[in-house]
Structure 1
Amino acid sequence: MARQLDEQIIGRFPVGKRLRVLDVGMGQGTQALRLVRAGHKVTGLEQDARMVAAARETLSGEPEGIRERMRIIEGDGRDTGVHFLPGSFDVVLCHGVLMYVEEPDPLLAGLARMLAPGGLLSLLVRNGDALAMRPGLSGDWAGALAAFDTTAYRNRLGLDVRADRLGTLTATLAGIGAPLQAWYGVRVFTDTAPDGAEMPADAEALLAVEERAGRTDPYRGVAALLHLCGVRG
């Protein structure tokens, strides 16, 4: 997914431009730090105090030039208007967050308001059109049948969460002034791999296959996750 995000950034902004990036629900800051190291100025917003502490600890070990380009705020992604002025960012990331939000539309509208004209909104969501794939490939036929008619599911942490459908999000993005420009599938062939599994010896080939499938119909449509990129008009 990092390669997909880099592709969108390179294709939409001048080479060498130091972008203002907001990472909503940044977790431990992995994506945020990667972008800071690439030269951008990143603000990470995270409501889990443990994640915030972990991100700050990691950041403390970075060189001063990187530390001064990253700001970490403990807060809820639905309150971006409290922390920032509209149009404050060139790129807004919201990866792995929407599944925990019961009503995502207000959150998405708030994120779109944070974008400057031409700004990029990057979303990573659970694919609501492919919820039957994981239980089906695992031989859980009852679970697969139940998944066809819902967007609710239980994740690997044991939490009851929700997925998003491509068509619904496409309409939402158009409605908030950040219409969909590109989308990818993520974890097409690897979703059933156990958590913490070691990379196989042929990892390079695996990554190449996943990258190709994530861009190619019909494979991307059955991916576990969708990476959607909208652009502020």
Structure 2
Amino acid sequence: MARQLDEQMAGRFPVGQRLRVLDVGMGQGTQALRLARAGHQVTGIEKDATMLAAARSALAEEPEGIRERVRLVEGDGRDTGVHFLPGSFDVVLCHGVLMYVDDPDPLLAGLARMLAPGGLLSLLVRNGDALALRPGLSGDWTTALAAFDTTAYRNRLGLDVRADRLAALTATLAGIGAPLHAWYGVRVFTDTAADGAEVPADVETLLAVEERAGRTDPYRGVAALLHLCGVRG
């Protein structure tokens, strides 16, 4: 999905422009550091102390020029209005966060307000239209049957979380002034791979297949995750 994000950023902004990026729920900072290495000014916000410590440790190992482009903030993505002025960012990332939020609409509205006009809102969410696929492919028929009528599920960490449906998120993005511009599927064929599985020898071919499927119907519609890109009007 990094390639998908880069594609959308390249399509929205002039080549070489140093973008102001907000990474909400940045985790260990992998995406934030990748974008800082590409020359962008990145602010990461994270409420989990362990994750924040890992991000700070990773940042400390970077060259000074990259460290100067990254700011780390301890906080909740729902409190962006406390930390930042409206319109402060060209790109806002919210990847792997919405599944932990019972009511995502206020969070998304707050993130949209952080965007400058023409800014890009990038979301990575669990696909609520395909929740039956993983248990179904693994032969867990009871869980698969129940998954058709809910957006609730238990993730691999054993946590009870929620998924989002494409139609509902499309309506939400339109309502907050950042209508959907593009969307992709993520982990179309690889979602059932075991945790810690060895990287296959033909990993480049695997990635090419996933990339192609993630932008092609009907495959993208049954992906484990959805990557949605909204643009602030």
Same fold (TM over 0.5): yes
Matched, 1:52 2:52: yes
Which piece of structure 1 moves more, 194-203 or 168-177? 194-203
Matched, 1:142 2:142: yes
| 1:218 aligned partner, one-letter code | P
Equivalent-residue separation in structure 2 for 1:41 and 1:204 (angstroms): 30
TM-score of the aligned structures, taking structure 1 as reference length: 1.00
The answer for the alignment partner of 2:73 in structure 1 is 73
Which piece of structure 1 moves more, 197-206 or 209-218? 197-206
Q: Deviations over 1:64-116 (max 9, x none)?
A: 10001000001000000000000000000000000000000000000000000
Q: What secondary structure, in the 3-state scheme, does the structure 1 residue paired with 2:17 have? A: coil
What stretches of structure 1 move > 2 A for 4+ residues in a row?
none
The answer for the alignment partner of 1:196 in structure 2 is 196
Aligned pairs for 1:153-192 (under 5 A) are 153-192=153-192
Matched, 1:63 2:74: no
The answer for the alignment partner of 2:40 in structure 1 is 40
Q: What secondary structure, in the 3-state scheme, does the structure 1 residue paired with 2:228 have? A: strand
Equivalent-residue separation in structure 2 for 1:34 and 1:155 (angstroms): 26
Q: Which runs of 5+ in 1 are unaligned?
A: none
Equivalent-residue separation in structure 2 for 1:46 and 1:55 (angstroms): 9
Shift of 1:197: 1.5
Alignment coverage as a number of residue pairs: 233
| 2:181 aligned partner, one-letter code | Q
Shift of 1:62: 0.6
TM-score of the aligned structures, taking structure 2 as reference length: 1.00
Equivalent-residue separation in structure 1 for 2:137 and 2:85 (angstroms): 46
Equivalent-residue separation in structure 1 for 2:51 and 2:72 (angstroms): 11
The answer for the alignment partner of 1:215 in structure 2 is 215
Q: Which runs of 5+ in 2 are unaligned?
A: none
The answer for the alignment partner of 1:2 in structure 2 is 2
| 1:71 aligned partner, one-letter code | R
